[in-house]
Each structure stands twice: as C-alpha cells, then as structure tokens.
C-alpha cells in the first residue's frame, strides 16, 4: 500500500523568514489553506488513509487535522519525536537572510546542506539521517508491507532525508531539494525530486547568492548603469522609463505582497506589528509639519522636492528589507500599504497648493500620470494579483513565495541598473546648478535618516519597534520622488535623479553592512556560550 509524505503547511517562521527547527511555530492563514488544499489533493489521488504519522510539533498536527478534515477521514494518529525537524542549534529563531549574510554562502551551505556539517550546537547530518532511516525501516516499511496506507506529515529536512532513502542516494550526495509546503508526495515523487538534474541545484545556489549579496549588487548595478550611459549615451523616452520603472517595481511588490493575507490586520498575534505602526504616527505628523514649513519658507523647486520627500510613503522595497534584516515584516507591510494608499492624497494637496509657485502648472497632468504609474502599476495591481494567486493555488503560492522570492531582488537589481542608466545626464558638464541638485539629493536622503534616528532617540521604543521604524522611515520611495520631480520640472536627466538613486542604494548597502556585522557578533557570542571557538564554527564569516 502507498506511503505519502507532506511537509507541514506554511508556519509563521516560514512566513517571517526565520529558522524554526525544534521550536514551535503555528500555521499561518496561508498554511491552513495549504493544509486543506493538501487534503483535496489527497482525495483526488484516491487515498484512504489508515495511519497518519506526525511529529511532536504542533504545526504537523494542525496540518494533519485540516487535511484529514477536508478528506472526511479519521485514521489512527501516530506521534513521534523521530520525525521532528532538524535541530538548528544557535540559528534557531534567527532571521535566515541575516544568518546567511553573516556566515557567508560557503559556510551556510556547509552547515545546512552538507552531510559533513552541522549548525553550531545543532544536529549533524548523520544524526538526522540516522533517525529518519530508522523510522523509515522500522515503522513505515512494516506498515507498508502490512497493507496499510500511511500519510506522514513532517518537516522539510525530514522529508528530504526520506527522499534520499527512497531514491537510494547516499547522504554525501545531498543538496537542498526545496520540498514545498503541504504537497502530498508519493515515494516515487520523492525519488524524482532527489534525482533532479544539477541545473535545479545551480538555480537554488544562485537564489541563495542573490539573497546574500542583494544590497551590494543593487548598489553596484546603479553605478554600472551610470557608467554604461557615459560610455553609450542614449536617451530613454519618458514613457519607456515610467513603464519600465513600474514593471520592475511591480515584480518586487508581487513577491513581497504574496506573503500577506488581508486578515492579518485582525490577527491578535500581530499586535507587535500594530504597535510599530502606531509608534510611527507622530513621526509622520512631524514630517508633514516640516513639509508645510518648507513650503512657507520658500517657493523654490528644491523646497517643493524636500516637502515631497518628507511626505512620501516607504519604498516598496521596505518589506523586502525588513524580511532580510530581521524586522517585523508585517509592520513594514502595514506601514507601506497604509502610507502608499493614504499619503498620495496628501502629496496631491501639497502640489496643488504650490501650483504655479515653483513649477509650471501645465505639467500637473504629466505628474499625475507618473504618480499613477508608480503607485497603481507597481503596488495596487501586484497586490490584487498576489492575493488572487494565494486564493486560487495556496500550495503553489507558498512555494513561489519561499523558493522564488529572490526573483524580486533580481528585479530590484535590474531596476537599479535601468534607473542609473536612464537618469544619468548625457552631458557630463557639472555646473553650479547641477552640482546643487546632486548635493540636494544626497543631503535630503541623509536628512531623512537623521530625522528618523533623532525621533527614535527621543521616544526610545523597544528594540523591535526601533528596528521597524528605521527600516521603513529611512527608505522613502525614491523612485516616486524622482518620477514626480521629472514630471513637475521636466528635468529627468539633470543629475538629481542619478544622485538620488545611487545614494539610495548606497545607503541601503551600508545599512546591510552594519546589520550583518551586528549579526556576526551575536552569533559569535552564541557559539562562545557553547564553549566552542567562533572562528572555527563560523569559518568564512570574517569574524574579528
């Protein structure tokens, strides 16, 4: 009789980009939808389950309950600690991206995807493979021979060990198999996954490298774009620039928004997120007040640009950065969503009030179009598409969100290259006016960060809220800023846009460097607490 395997539905740790391992982590709304969908798929396969085997962690039990409820079946439940997830040692509960960045690709691969490695203080491959092999040989195989249909609901690395066992592959040949959440897999399915060609492994490795190096790659791409325009100066038409900008931002937004459900705002478990959102309100009010003061003090174009920057929502990249830097992803999402939907109206009022004083009012329709392309095209439409995908195919949506999220980062890297090229002046002559615009763009983006930092020093929120506000309020939507400036003043290639984009990505990269160094120190302390040598266990992390 058949044996089928299911990796549990998406957990809160999966959703928040954290290592869970032996730690408890409840199913998300998407995870529960995935579990029900798994039950429907099992019914389509004609499964009549005699036994369901689960680990001692609640996410497997809940997945089994929902799947079996959808199937209308009540088989015998067997719970075992032998099929609990791998123990991740000092990495348990930590942000995956920060850990990868802190220890480097080679060390991360050695710890997680090599049969010879293990996370510091965690379980070795031999230990994990040994208990999975014992369970397969001593529990599952006898049940199969006795004619019982068995459904095993367990965890990623345990399912992947079962795949190696089913395919007869030695553990020394293991590589990350990227088993999706909540998809019923037969023994034959596991064999096929384990024997996939090397191209799949290469793509997975590419995704890991992009995730680790993304901020640096984006900054370098912006600089390369500037250099390419200097070498091959071709003016990019405004409509091409706006459409290209919106399309690339839309890809990034789609992957970010694929992780959220409309119900999150009412989830009691997300109170920390709402606390972060409420904590930022005084800062937003302060920025609005400063914007009005700027407009009262001067009617120059730079004053209007400064006021617009103060009123802009967080960059659509902010949730991605939060996910990569260990922030509260939902705080970043909530702040970005609310600000992107509300602040455009405020910006519109400011522009109308200033109409004719610092720009040609005839340019307002063009500015409105630029605004709509960036906000609607790169945010609203991806939001609708992401939610439709989640509802239609929750298992596939979870797989795309987890395994292909790095494509959103690739889109940002391409965007940085495209913007750097499109915004660079064809004439390299830097007169006083151009130098002033470049200096203003750099100074304004630095001032926004200093303002957020000063506010946090005064209010002194807890560490989590502090981190969330620094991520969202120090990364304004610079592309919306550049698009509005080009539409209002007709100066897309005057040096301002180039400086704004390069400075934005440069500051994001510097933020990444600081956060990664902090994570390295924390990991070194955790390893030292085990009585072990951080330099040996975290080799390749460049610890000092």
Residues at the binding site for substrate are 7-14, 59, 96
**Residue 183 burial (CB count, 10 A):** 19
Query: What's the rounded Cα separation, in Å, for the pair 210 and 409?
Result: 7
Told to judge if 8 belongs to the known catalytic residues of this protein, a careful annotator would answer yes
Told to judge if 138 belongs to the known catalytic residues of this protein, a careful annotator would answer no
Query: What's the rounded Cα separation, in Å, for the pair 367 and 470?
Result: 29
326: left (phi over 0), alpha (psi -120 to 50) or beta: left
**Alpha carbon of 33 to those of 30, 156, 391, 392: distances in Å?**
5, 18, 8, 10
Q: Angle at which helices 496-529 and 478-489 pack, to 10 degrees?
A: 170
Length of the chain: 544
With a CB cutoff of 8 Å and minimum separation 6, the contacts of 402 are 10, 14, 178, 180, 181
102 and 541 Cβ atoms separated by less than 8 Å: yes
Q: Angle at which helices 198-231 and 105-113 pack, to 10 degrees?
A: 170
477 and 314 Cβ atoms separated by less than 8 Å: yes
Query: What's the rounded Cα separation, in Å, for the pair 194 and 187?
Result: 11
For residue 153, list its beta bridge partners: 6, 54
C-alpha count within 13 angstroms, C-beta hemisphere, residue 513: 9
46 and 74 Cβ atoms separated by less than 8 Å: no
Query: What's the rounded Cα separation, in Å, for the pair 272 and 469?
Result: 12
161 and 132 Cβ atoms separated by less than 8 Å: yes
Query: What's the rounded Cα separation, in Å, for the pair 470 and 464?
Result: 10
Catalytic residue among 15, 32, 51, 85: 85
Looking at the chain, the number of H-run helices and the number of E-run strands are 24, 5
482 CB burial (10 A radius; 0-12, 13-18, 19+)? buried
Query: What's the rounded Cα separation, in Å, for the pair 243 and 468?
Result: 30
Residue that the structure tokens 């990569």 belong to? 324
β-pair type (3-7, 185-186): antiparallel
Q: Which DSSP string do the residues of 261-294 spell out, in sequence order?
A: -GGGGG-GGGHHHHHHHHHHHHHHHHHHHHHHHH
Binding residues: 7-14, 59, 96
186 and 152 Cβ atoms separated by less than 8 Å: no
Q: Which residues are catalytic?
A: 8, 85
């Amino acid at each position: 009789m058949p044996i089928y395997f299911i990796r549990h539905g998406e957990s809160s740790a999966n959703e928040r980009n954290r290592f869970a391992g032996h730690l408890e982590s409840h199913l998300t709304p998407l995870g529960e939808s995935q579990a029900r969908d798994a039950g429907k798929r099992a019914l389509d396969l004609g499964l009549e389950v005699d036994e369901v085997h689960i680990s001692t962690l609640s996410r497997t039990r809940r997945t089994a309950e929902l799947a079996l409820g959808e199937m209308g079946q009540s088989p015998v439940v067997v719970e075992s600690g032998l099929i609990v997830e791998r123990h991740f040692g000092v990495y348990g509960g930590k942000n995956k991206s920060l850990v990868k960045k802190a220890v480097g690709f080679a060390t991360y691969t050695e710890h997680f995807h090599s049969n010879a490695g293990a996370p510091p203080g965690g379980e070795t491959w031999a230990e994990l493979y040994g208990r999975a092999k014992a369970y397969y040989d001593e529990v599952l195989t006898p049940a199969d021979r006795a004619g019982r249909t068995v459904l095993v609901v367990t965890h990623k690395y345990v399912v992947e060990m079962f795949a190696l066992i089913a395919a007869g592959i030695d553990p020394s040949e293991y590589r990350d198999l990227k088993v999706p959440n909540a998809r019923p897999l037969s023994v034959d399915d596991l064999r096929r996954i384990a024997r996939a060609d090397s191209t799949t492994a290469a793509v997975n490795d590419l995704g890991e490298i992009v995730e680790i190096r993304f901020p640096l790659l984006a900054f370098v791409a912006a600089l390369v774009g500037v250099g390419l325009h200097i070498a091959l100066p071709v003016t990019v038409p405004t409509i091409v620039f706006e459409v290209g900008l919106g399309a690339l931002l839309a890809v990034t937004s789609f992957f970010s928004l694929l992780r959220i459900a409309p119900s999150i705002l009412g989830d009691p478990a997300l109170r920390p997120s709402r606390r972060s959102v409420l904590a930022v309100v005084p800062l937003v009010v302060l920025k609005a007040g400063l914007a009005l003061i700027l407009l009262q003090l001067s009617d120059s174009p730079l004053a209007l640009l400064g006021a617009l920057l103060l009123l802009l929502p967080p960059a659509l990249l902010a949730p991605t950065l939060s996910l990569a830097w260990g922030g509260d992803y939902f705080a970043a999402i909530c702040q970005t969503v609310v600000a992107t939907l509300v602040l455009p109206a405020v910006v519109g009022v400011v522009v109308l009030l200033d109409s004719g004083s610092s720009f040609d009012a005839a340019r307002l329709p063009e500015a409105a179009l630029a605004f709509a392309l960036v906000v609607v095209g790169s945010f609203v439409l991806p939001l609708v598409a992401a939610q439709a995908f989640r509802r239609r195919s929750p298992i596939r949506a979870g797989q795309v969100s987890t395994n292909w999220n790095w494509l959103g980062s690739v889109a940002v890297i391409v965007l940085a290259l495209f913007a750097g090229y499109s915004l660079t002046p064809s004439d390299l002559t830097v007169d006083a006016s151009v130098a002033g615009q470049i200096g203003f763009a750099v100074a304004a983006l630095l001032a926004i960060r200093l303002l957020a930092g000063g506010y946090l020093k005064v209010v002194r929120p807890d560490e989590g809220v502090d981190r969330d506000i620094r991520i969202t309020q120090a990364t304004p939507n610079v592309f919306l800023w550049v698009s509005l400036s080009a539409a209002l003043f007709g100066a897309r290639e005057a040096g301002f846009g180039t400086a704004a984009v390069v400075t934005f990505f440069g500051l994001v990269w510097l933020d990444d460097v600081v956060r990664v160094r902090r994570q390295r120190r924390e990991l070194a302390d955790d390893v030292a607490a085990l009585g072990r040598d951080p330099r040996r266990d975290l080799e390749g992390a460049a610890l000092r």
